[in-house]
Amino acid sequence: MNEQEPMGAAPSADAIEAHARAVIARLPDAFRRHLGDVVLLVEEEADAETLAALEIDHPLDLTGVYHGRPIGEKSAFDSAALPDRIHLYRQALLAEWCESGVRLDELVAHVTIHEIGHHFGLSDDDMHALEEAVAD
* 8 lies in some domain: no
Q: Is residue 100 part of a domain?
A: yes
pLDDT digits (tens, 9 = 90+) for 12-32: 999 999 999 999 999 988 888
Q: Where is pLDDT greater, at 36 or 39?
A: 39
Q: Is the pLDDT of residue 3 over 70?
A: no
Q: Give this prediction's pTM.
A: 0.85
Which CATH number do you get for residue 29?
3.30.2010.20
Distance CA 17, CA 89 (A): 10
pLDDT at 116: 92
Question: Model confidence over 91-124: pLDDT tens digits?
Answer: 999 999 999 989 999 999 999 999 999 888 888 8
Residue 99 domain boundaries = 13-72+82-134
Which has the higher per-residue pLDDT, 7 or 47? 47
Q: State how far the Cα of 79 lies from the Cα of 22, in Å rounded to an integer.
A: 29
